[in-house]
Structure 1
């Protein structure tokens, strides 16, 4: 059962990585502003799309950084454990 679940997860992951559409998401006001500027010959709309993508990536990078720091701290705690095979005297 676990092997089937892992196989399905792998197929879904590969599908998400290989099948994609180019999309640009904007609020209604930004879309209208970008469309009007492109019609007039300006390239500000492309810059607006790039700015939105940068703003979208920032929270993911922050979470990844915090996760990496947490992982390194947790790993460091487990590595520093020195347990001796000595008899414990309870007096």
Structure 2
């Protein structure tokens, strides 16, 4: 149980500190004077990355709910 709690905290804190740009995108966007484009690209990558996790979590929830109703 302690391992799960530690894993959840590590996952949450690493999410907040992560950089979503690849090395090439970062090099091109850092040469720009205003950082608005870099922030937009980073937000877009994070937005696209969230959907697979949401879908997998939804599938796990539905399987769990189905399993629980069949067990009772």
Structure 1: which 5+ runs fail to align? 1-5, 80-91
**How high is the TM-score relative to the length of structure 1?**
0.58
Q: Distance in 1 between matches of 2:4 and 2:59?
A: 26
Cα deviation, 1:14-42, whole Å, max 9, x if unaligned, reads 762686572313222211232123x2x25
Match of 1:67 in 2: 60
Match of 2:26 in 1: 31
More helix by share: 2
Structure label with greater radius of gyration: 1
Q: Distance in 1 between matches of 2:65 and 2:8?
A: 28
Select the structure with the greater relative contact order (CA < 8 A; seq sep ≥ 6). Answer: 2
Match of 2:17 in 1: 22
**How high is the TM-score relative to the length of structure 2?**
0.69
Structure 1 residue 78: deviation in Å? 2.0
